[in-house]
């Protein structure tokens, strides 16, 4: 591909993204009005699939074609096989996968009129759920990218996979896609997240060192035996005491000397009355580590503690894996290509911050480590704009011009990777 053809491609990407501003905004607001939690993204998946067909993808995979059923984690009652993968085949060349997460959070969105979605009439219509983590923007960027790359297929040489992943919240969905084999032939993997800007960097693309902490999410059920708390306490086995013993001792796990670690018990439900020895307790906890090894250390220790706490009080215990993510780092070569394309060709502000997004967890890592294991490259970056509140807040919103930057970045890097 000569310089003239390259310049034509960069110009087309820029002009398309800027001309699509109102279309992208309308699409984003539609998804924002209809948020759906993990494994329940039925309307969302259907709409994505319809649009990928309309844009001209060669294949659109849905249902069990996307996720391996038995590899799904934390599936709620009524949950199903959600997620979509669009395939664009453009002849011989590398395979590029672009990943976009699609689920919402159990957050009741702010009703105040100084909250932009409420002011403009696109506040959540699904009570108790909200796109408070920007995934409505991720979906929109993914669809805008798919539409343009389908139009550019004659200039591309290789395959593009548009992966619209369910159940990222709680790090539950990526593994089911990985175990269905969709990352085995991928040479390059790209993902991104909406992120709040600063005075120094209000808008643009932030290149990170990687994508956060490794983590394991566990649900723990203690089973005891009920009895009268005054007349026959010795005949019972107190599941509440077992759970409480576990909570206190979980906080006492020795910290790892080679990497930062975290632990939190976020939920404990137990008991039915003050005069009854509690026969059941349910606990929800998570561990995290700066490395996958440190996270495994925390998980092993935590599982041992809950087992021993149950035994101390004559109870039994069941531990259920509800979500998992690894630690992972970006490919330095792919970071450089992203920076070069965005800064030099697409004129998007770009900067590097190795600490950005480093204290959260993302199951994009499950995909990236699979790609890296067979010699591929992966990169996760931040699509930065002014945000009205922190992620997961009921007032969270981002500036919609970030949608254009996201489309430019994904299309530009993909075109660079699939040039002749």
Tokens 């309308």 -> residue: 26
**All CATH 3.30.70.360 domain ranges in the chain, comma separated:** 214-325
Packing angle, helices 401-417 and 135-151, rounded to 10: 50
- How much is the pLDDT for 154? 95
Q: Which CATH number fits domain 214-325: 3.50.50.60, 3.30.70.360, 1.10.1740.10, 3.20.20.70?
A: 3.30.70.360
Phi and psi dihedrals of 326, rounded to 5? -100, 170
- How much is the pLDDT for 4? 81
- At 130-163, the pLDDT tens digits run 999 999 999 999 999 999 999 999 999 999 999 9
Q: Could you tell me how far CA 124 lies from the centroid of its own chain?
A: 20
Helix count and strand count (H, E) for the chain: 11, 12
- At 61-112, the pLDDT tens digits run 999 999 999 999 999 999 899 999 999 999 999 999 999 999 999 999 999 9
Q: Could you tell me how far CA 237 lies from the centroid of its own chain?
A: 40
- How much is the pLDDT for 1? 63
DSSP string, 21-67: HHHHHHHHHHHHHS---TT--HHHHHHHHHHHHHHT-SEEEEGGGTS
- How much is the pLDDT for 178? 98
What number of residues does the chain have? Answer: 420
Look at domain 3-210+328-417 and name its CATH class: alpha beta
**All CATH 3.40.630.10 domain ranges in the chain, comma separated:** 3-210+328-417
Phi and psi dihedrals of 21, rounded to 5? -55, -50
- How much is the pLDDT for 212? 87
User: Which residues, including other chains, have CB under 8 Å from residue 272's CB and lie 6 or more apart?
Assistant: 226, 278
For residue 202, what are its two tokens?
């209000």
- How much is the pLDDT for 420? 63
- How much is the pLDDT for 5? 82
State the DSSP H helix or E strand holding residue 119, giving kind and residue range, or none if neither.
Answer: helix 116-119
CA-CA distance, 31 to 205, in Å (whole number)?
Answer: 23
- How much is the pLDDT for 140? 99
- Written as tens digits, the pLDDT of the chain (420 aa) is 677 888 899 999 999 999 999 999 999 999 999 999 999 999 999 999 999 999 999 999 999 999 999 999 999 999 899 999 999 999 999 999 999 999 999 999 999 999 999 999 999 999 999 999 999 999 999 999 999 999 999 999 999 999 999 999 999 999 999 999 999 999 999 999 999 999 999 999 999 998 789 999 999 999 999 999 999 999 999 999 999 999 999 999 998 889 999 999 999 999 999 999 999 999 999 999 999 999 999 999 999 999 999 999 999 999 999 999 999 999 999 999 999 999 999 999 999 999 898 889 999 999 999 999 999 999 999 999 999 999 999 999 999 999 999 999 999 999 999 986
CA-CA distance, 306 to 60, in Å (whole number)?
Answer: 44
């Amino acid at each position: 591909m000569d310089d003239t053809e390259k310049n034509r491609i960069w110009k087309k990407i820029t002009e398309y993204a800027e001309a699509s501003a109102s279309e992208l905004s309308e699409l984003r607001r539609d998804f924002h009005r209809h948020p759906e939690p993990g494994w329940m993204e039925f309307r969302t998946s259907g709409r994505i699939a319809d649009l990928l067909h309309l844009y001209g993808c060669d294949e659109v995979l849905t249902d069990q074609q996307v996720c391996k059923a038995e590899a799904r984690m934390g599936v709620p009652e009524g949950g199903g096989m959600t997620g979509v993968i669009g395939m664009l085949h453009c002849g011989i060349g590398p395979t590029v996968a672009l990943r976009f997460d699609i689920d919402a959070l159990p957050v009741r969105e702010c009703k105040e009129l100084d909250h932009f979605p409420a002011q403009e009439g696109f506040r959540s219509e699904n009570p108790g759920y909200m796109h408070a983590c920007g995934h409505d923007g991720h979906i929109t960027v993914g669809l805008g990218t798919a539409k343009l790359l389908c139009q550019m297929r004659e200039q591309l040489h290789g395959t593009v996979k548009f992966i619209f992943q369910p159940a990222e919240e709680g790090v539950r969905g990526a593994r089911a896609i990985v175990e269905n084999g969709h990352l085995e032939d991928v040479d390059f993997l790209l993902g991104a997240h909406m992120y709040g800007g600063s005075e120094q960097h209000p808008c643009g693309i932030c290149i990170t060192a990687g994508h956060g902490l490794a983590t394991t999410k566990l649900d723990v059920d203690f089973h005891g035996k009920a009895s009268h708390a005054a007349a026959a306490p010795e005949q019972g086995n107190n599941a509440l005491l077992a759970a409480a013993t576990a909570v206190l001792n979980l906080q006492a796990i020795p910290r790892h000397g080679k990497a930062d670690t975290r632990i939190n018990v976020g939920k404990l439900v137990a008991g039915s009355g003050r005069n009854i020895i509690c026969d059941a307790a349910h606990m929800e906890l998570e561990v995290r580590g700066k490395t996958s090894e440190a996270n495994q250390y925390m998980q092993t220790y935590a599982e041992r503690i809950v087992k021993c706490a149950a035994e101390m009080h004559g109870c039994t215990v069941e531990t259920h894996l509800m979500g998992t993510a690894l630690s992972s780092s970006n490919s330095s070569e792919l970071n450089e290509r992203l920076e070069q394309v965005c800064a030099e060709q697409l004129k998007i502000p770009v900067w590097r911050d190795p600490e950005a997004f480093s204290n959260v967890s993302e199951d994009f890592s499950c995909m990236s480590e699979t790609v890296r294991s067979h010699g591929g490259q992966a990169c996760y970056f931040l699509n930065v704009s002014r945000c009205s509140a922190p992620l997961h807040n009921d007032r969270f919103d981002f500036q919609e011009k970030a949608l254009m930057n996201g489309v430019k970045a994904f299309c530009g890097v993909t075109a660079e990777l699939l040039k002749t």
